[in-house]
Amino acid sequence: MFKVINELPLSEVQEGLIVGVFEHEKIDGFLKELDDVLQGQISELLQDGDIKGKKKVISKIHTLGKIGFKRIYFVGLGKASELTFPIVREAFGRVVKQINRDRLATVTVALDTFITEDGLVLDAAHAFSEALSLASYKFNHYKRKANISAKELESTFVYTGADQDEIMAALTVGYTYGQGTNSARTLVNLPPNKLTAADLADYAVEIAKKYRMEYEILEKEEMEQLGMGALLAVNKGSVQPPKLIVLKYISNEKWENVLALVGKGITYDTGGYSLKSREGMVGMKTDMGGAAAVLGAMEIIGELQPEQNVIAVIPATDNMISGEALKPDDVITSMSGKTIEVFNTDAEGRLALCDAIHYAKQLGASYIVDIATLTGGVIVALGDAVTGAMTNNETFFEEMLEASAEVGELLWRLPYFDHYKEKVRNHSKIADLSNSPGREAHPIMAGAFLGEFVEDTPWIHLDIAGTATSKGEHDLGPAGATGVMVRTLATLAERMSANR
């Protein structure tokens, strides 16, 4: 799909040319060459404001036969001193959407016009290919009337003076990140009757086979033998059997220094007997967003092959109602042996996750990241742009922060004081733990509950209830699933590999 070129005769540009332009900067380099060919018209259009360097503003001009191709897309990058990777990526996303609307099959990117210094050209290549993948994403819906599909880009020429092999490697990584994120988006967007726990397990097995990972799918009978009473309790109301999905990416001969990614896989959540409202139930197909993020990250890890042992553990079930379903006031016994009094059957995700976390520890996890659409409280606290996080290990959390900053996904740390731990332990008068000590500090209580099963293992909890979906279209995709944290998790594995 990509071809890197070090020389660009403008006569060979076929349909469209993408050029970056900064605000209040003089024309030089490739832009000056292009201006000369067009007899100073670019300078004139910049001066008149028909071409804008303002951040993420796309200015499209037609060449009117003065050059061999029809369109030039000028991408505003704002002030050069304020340029960041997310700005470049989102600007590329916006121009990719415009190109798709214009139904171009071939486009050429003047990559060096998107950087302020030579060392950033690899970042620009990554940003472009990631944006190309993300901004082009569409979910194939179930309407009988066929859509008129947009003409998709067949080839992209990337013009730069940098080393071709290095640029191609950066393009490959960026596109892989985008595709892994899109895979997670599709899983989250699927209707619940099209994605049961069994379907999610089948998809995970496909990933494992493609990348030669070891895998294990625990069935209900095996969970019963292992004593996974918490996960099984969530499943009691369902006609769909639960699945405990395990993927192992083994990069070293010794199974040590293992990063465990534990993703909540509730394929639909009614709330159980603590029933959600009619309006609150719509959209609960997305309650497996954590599982989708883990599988998207494993896809990237399989493609890029970091030198880091990684295990994915996903408890998969739906949360339904029947005569056998879990009830408020029930006391259940988790795989760890800790007993749990159930005060809210809609606090089911933490019940499924606690057994998965304990199992990950049994499988040799040295570090644990759990990720889940866990609480509405985190949306109240942080909104829809920032993921809530908790940790028991400062060093590990610094790695996570750096990974999230590198890919431009926002995290905010919530407190994890003894006060919260004690409320989880002491709220129940008849069991070791309460699954829902109340509405106060709700997202923190959910994380603190999971911390009881992590114990001393370095751990990070990510609550993506607010960030897993978007209500409206944005620069890097349509409304719906975002695939949030896929790239952060993959980058964390890469960073841990590099820092060994």
- Which positions are annotated as active-site residues? 276, 350
The two tokens of residue 204 are: 């995970």
The amino acid at 111: L
Is residue 346 within 8 Å of 411, Cβ to Cβ?
A: no
DSSP 477: B
3-state secondary structure (DSSP) of residue 342: coil
DSSP 384: T
Q: How far is CA 42 from CA 39, 45, 62, 64, 188, in A?
A: 8, 5, 11, 13, 44
Please give the span between the terminal C-alpha atoms of the chain, in angstroms, as a whole number. Answer: 34
Cα pseudo-dihedral 370, 373, 377, 380, rounded to 10: 120
Q: Comparing C-alpha atoms, which of 93, 89, 104, 110 is closest to residue 31?
A: 110
* Alpha carbon distance 329, 331 (integer Å): 6
* Alpha carbon distance 313, 474 (integer Å): 31
127-156 as b/e: b if 16+ CB within 10 A: bbbbbbbbbbbebeeeeeeeeeeeeebeeb
In the block, tokens 């985190």 appear at 378
The two tokens of residue 395 are: 């060093």
* Alpha carbon distance 351, 52 (integer Å): 53
* Alpha carbon distance 285, 370 (integer Å): 19
